[in-house]
């Protein structure tokens, strides 16, 4: 084989497709019993269930949008999640609907006046952590009702100990617009994500239930080059210690009703509710089925053996990752890619860019 690709997730699949297009041979292995990694969807009674959490495709990059549309037709789903704080409902992202519900204000000027006052009360000039960043951006009401509880559950640490960049991901608007994302292109692939990856992997040999670390012992000569999309610290035997990850537990239920929450994603932003989100999958595809499937998402502390869903990109882990990266850079026979191989909080569109770049650099 020209390439042994470890991980049948999006990075591995995009790379494999690119390599195949140029006549290269690829063997793709994955330790899971299915392809598609975290974007895996499975049809359950006609509902495409996002098995590893809500996945909404969105991008500002027209080339990426054109690329992904080669593999699926997308619907016009727009993510407009609802936040629940102690039984009260708010629109996300923070927008005029949210401000109206919080304070009864009807105009951008009135909302700005309240937020400006609360920002000034926070007296933060140079935010050093997520709490200070949130207070200086949004003021106390939004921080306490919509950010603090959710973030502390999600990351398992007080906001005062978390890095600021996490919160920069949350859009903030002065219009009555509940679209969670700012990107011009957004949607859900009709028929789910798994068939996209299936098409990308067409022509490649794929072996599931196959862990790289066992496989390579007996097959060290199988390919000229390895594309590794598992965890970089695991690849190097945790030589410098473990990088930190956040894991998740998903609890799904099929309900004998046609509509549970009226929207695809509801965030629970109070501390008391143990889950962060409930997804009702059918709403991603405007489903008309008589039944519905919902999934509660619980953040979990990661330890070896659990799925490392999120890298924790703070300073400590940044320094540790650089040490692993130095080792990785010396390995001409291995390309490290994806969320785990590059220890980066990449969305799907960034994964595509990165995998196409890695393939292009190979001068395949």
- For ligand FAD, give the closer residue by CB, 56 or 162: 56
Which of ligand UDP, ligand FAD, none binds 339 (CB below 5-8 Å, type-dependent)? ligand FAD
Select which of 150, 277, 310, 343 is catalytic.
277
Classify 360 as helix, strand or coil: helix
Q: Pull the structure tokens for residue 217.
A: 């012992």
Q: Is 246 an annotated catalytic residue?
A: yes
Q: Is 126 an annotated catalytic residue?
A: no
List the interface residues with ligand FAD, window 116-135 (CB under 6 A): none
Give CA–CA dist 251/297, Å, rounded: 7
Q: Is 169 an annotated catalytic residue?
A: yes
Going by C-alpha positions, the residue among 349, 346, 285 that lies closest to residue 67 is 349
**Using an 8 Å Cβ cutoff, are 190 and 285 in contact?**
yes
Long-range contacts of 60-64 (CB under 8 A, 24+ apart): 60/182, 60/183, 60/184, 60/185, 60/349, 61/185, 61/349, 61/353, 62/185, 64/185, 64/349, 64/352, 64/353
150 contacts ligand UDP (rule: CB under 6 A): yes
- For ligand FAD, give the closer residue by CB, 176 or 213: 213
32 contacts ligand FAD (rule: CB under 6 A): yes
- For ligand UDP, give the closer residue by CB, 68 or 162: 162
- For ligand FAD, give the closer residue by CB, 143 or 310: 310
348 contacts ligand FAD (rule: CB under 6 A): yes
**Contact window for ligand UDP (CB under 6 A) among 145-153, 204-212, 278-286, 322-330:** 145-153
Going by C-alpha positions, the residue among 88, 246, 50 that lies closest to residue 154 is 246
347 contacts ligand FAD (rule: CB under 6 A): yes
Supply the minimum distance, in Å, between the C-beta of residue 331 and ligand FAD. 16
What secondary structure does DSSP assign to 69-129, as a single string?
Answer: TTT--B-------EEEETTEEEESSBSHHHHHHHH---SHHHHHHHHHHHHHHHT-SS--S
Give CA–CA dist 326/324, Å, rounded: 5
The CA angle 331-333-334, to the nearest 5 degrees, is 75
Q: Is the sign of the CA dihedral 262, 266, 270, 275 positive or negative? A: positive
Supply the minimum distance, in Å, between the C-beta of residue 299 and ligand UDP. 9
301 contacts ligand FAD (rule: CB under 6 A): no
- For ligand FAD, give the closer residue by CB, 23 or 33: 33
Q: Is 347 an annotated catalytic residue?
A: yes
Select which of 211, 224, 249, 345 is catalytic.
345
Out of 166, 227, 232, 264, point to the residue binding ligand UDP (CB under 6 A).
166
List the interface residues with ligand UDP, window 67-126 (CB under 6 A): 83, 92
Give CA–CA dist 269/288, Å, rounded: 29
230 contacts ligand FAD (rule: CB under 6 A): yes
Burial of 313 (0-12, 13-18, 19+ CB in 10 A): middle
# binding residues, ligand UDP (CB under 6 A) = 13
Q: Is 70 an annotated catalytic residue?
A: no
Q: How many residues does the chain have?
A: 364
- For ligand FAD, give the closer residue by CB, 143 or 268: 268
Select which of 61, 67, 144, 173 is catalytic.
173
Q: Where does this chain bind ligand FAD (CB under 6 A)?
A: 6-12, 29-32, 37-39, 52-57, 211-213, 229-230, 248, 309, 338-340, 346-349, 351
Residues labelled as active-site residues:
169, 173, 246, 277, 297, 345, 347
């Amino acid at each position: 084989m020209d390439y042994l690709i470890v991980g049948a997730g999006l990075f591995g699949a995009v790379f494999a497709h690119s390599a195949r297009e140029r006549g290269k041979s690829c063997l793709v292995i994955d330790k899971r019993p299915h392809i598609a990694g975290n974007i895996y969807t499975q049809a359950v009674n006609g509902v495409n269930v996002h098995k590893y959490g809500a996945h909404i495709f969105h991008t500002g990059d027209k080339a990426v949008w054109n690329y992904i549309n080669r593999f699926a037709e997308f619907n016009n789903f727009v993510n407009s999640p609802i936040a629940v704080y102690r039984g009260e409902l708010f629109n996300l992202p923070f927008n005029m609907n949210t401000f109206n519900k919080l304070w009864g204000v009807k105009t951008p000027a009135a909302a700005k006046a309240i937020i400006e006052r609360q920002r000034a009360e926070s007296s933060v000039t140079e935010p050093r952590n997520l709490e200070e960043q949130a207070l200086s951006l949004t003021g106390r009401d939004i921080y306490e009702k919509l950010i603090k509880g959710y973030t502390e559950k999600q990351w398992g640490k007080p906001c005062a100990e978390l890095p600021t960049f996490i919160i920069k991901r949350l859009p903030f608007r002065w219009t009555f617009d509940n679209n969670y994302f700012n990107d011009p292109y957004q949607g859900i692939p009709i028929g789910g994500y798994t068939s996209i990856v299936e098409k990308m992997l067409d022509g490649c040999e794929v072996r599931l239930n196959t862990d790289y670390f066992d496989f390579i012992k007996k097959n060290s000569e199988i390919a000229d080059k390895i594309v590794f999309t598992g965890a970089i610290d695991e690849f190097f035997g945790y030589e410098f210690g473990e990088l930190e990850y956040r894991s998740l537990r998903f609890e799904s239920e099929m309900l004998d009703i046609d509509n549970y929450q009226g929207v695809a994603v509801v965030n629970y932003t109070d501390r008391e509710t143990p889950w962060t989100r409930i997804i009702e999958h059918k709403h991603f595809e405007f489903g008309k089925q008589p039944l519905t499937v919902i999934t509660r998402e619980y953040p979990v502390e990661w330890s070896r053996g659990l799925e490392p869903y999120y890298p924790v990109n703070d300073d400590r882990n940044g320094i540790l990752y650089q040490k692993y990266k130095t080792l990785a850079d010396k390995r001409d026979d291995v390309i490290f890619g994806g969320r785990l191989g590059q220890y980066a909080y990449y969305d799907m569109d960034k994964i595509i860019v990165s995998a196409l770049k890695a393939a292009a650099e190979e001068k395949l």
